Amino acid sequence: MKQLKIAIQKSGRLNEGSLKLLKDCGIFIDNGKDQLKAPARNFPLELLFLRNSDIPQYVEDGIADAAIIGENILIEKPKAVKIVRKLGFARCRLSLAVPKYVDYQGTQYFEGKRIATSYPNTIKNYFKQKNVQCEVHEISGSVEIAPNIGLADGICDIVSSGSTLFKNGLKEVETFLKSEAVLIQSDKIEPEVKQILDRLVFRIRAVLEAKNNKYILMNVPNEKIDEVSSLLPVLKSPTVLPLAMEGWSSLHTVIKEDTFWEVIDQLKAAGAEGILVVPIEKMVS
């Protein structure tokens, strides 16, 4: 039986997020300590645990049929692969940082300066667009220490919270790329294996839709149902169920979480009471 081979990061945030996503999709992996390959218990899938920077090449060569990887890696090392969909976790940004004492006035600060980074191609392309000439030093790790030891005047690195920059006496001055985990596929994927990938994508879509939406129910006076319904930004009309209390109904619908906070006050003002917001485990459309 054909199996879908998916590469994920061997360790780190992308590893944890990828395994959680698969678990949320109902796929359980039998992986022991230090295993580089692990089969799924209940889905025709095998995981390959690889070094992050090596993953795009494995997918391009067809060794892995698909992979979960940071979009920033693909931008730094472009390969002949297809992005299937963004996954909404491991969000970060690629930023420029300088010592805290620097009076930073703009990207021209870096003219003739030295920059340490693990993303030389990305930063060179960025400064080419800005018409800034600088000296790029490629470092594989611990980029933040470079200004403190005199190796560079600034750095370009992935930033999540900014706490590492702060601890090393640096400040973030420019953000020029935002990234998150993406699912990619090989151009060499076999048709049978592609069908398995499509099944996985279906499950992923259901999981991600559930995370971005909430089930909402509220009690509404019958004469206010039309007014309250008009305030809800939903594609279809809500479900309306009569309550035991005469003249009242329970209104049920699904709403995007961020949109809910924009209309909550309007719903209350229109007469909605006992508003309950419930997480959705899976959402199949």
What's at 248, amino acid-wise?
W
The answer to whether the predicted template modeling score (pTM) of the entire model surpasses 0.85 is no
Residue 93 has pLDDT above 70, yes or no: yes
Q: pLDDT at position 74, please?
A: 92
Tell me, which fold does domain 92-179 have in CATH?
Answer: D-Maltodextrin-Binding Protein; domain 2 (3.40.190)
Q: pLDDT at position 137, please?
A: 93
Residue 235: pLDDT band (50, 70, 90) is: low
Q: pLDDT at position 233, please?
A: 74
Overall average pLDDT of the 96-124 stretch: 93
Class of domain 4-89+180-189: alpha beta
Alpha helices in 151-224 (DSSP H): 163-167, 191-212
Overall average pLDDT of the 226-247 stretch: 85
- C-beta separation of 144 from 155 below 8 A: yes
Residue 234: pLDDT band (50, 70, 90) is: low
Residue 258: pLDDT band (50, 70, 90) is: confident
Residue scoring higher pLDDT (260 or 227):
227
Q: Which of 20, 139, 38 is nearest to 87 (CA)?
A: 20
Q: pLDDT at position 163, please?
A: 84
Instruction: Give the whole-angstrom CA distance, residue 218 versus residue 228.
Output: 10
Class of domain 213-279: alpha beta
Instruction: Give the whole-angstrom CA distance, residue 46 versus residue 38.
Output: 6
User: CB 32: neighbour CB atoms within 10 A?
Assistant: 6
Domain with CATH 3.30.70.120 in the chain: 213-279
Segment 195-233, tens digit of pLDDT: 999 999 999 999 998 888 889 999 999 999 999 988 887
Domain with CATH 3.40.190.10 in the chain: 4-89+180-189, 92-179
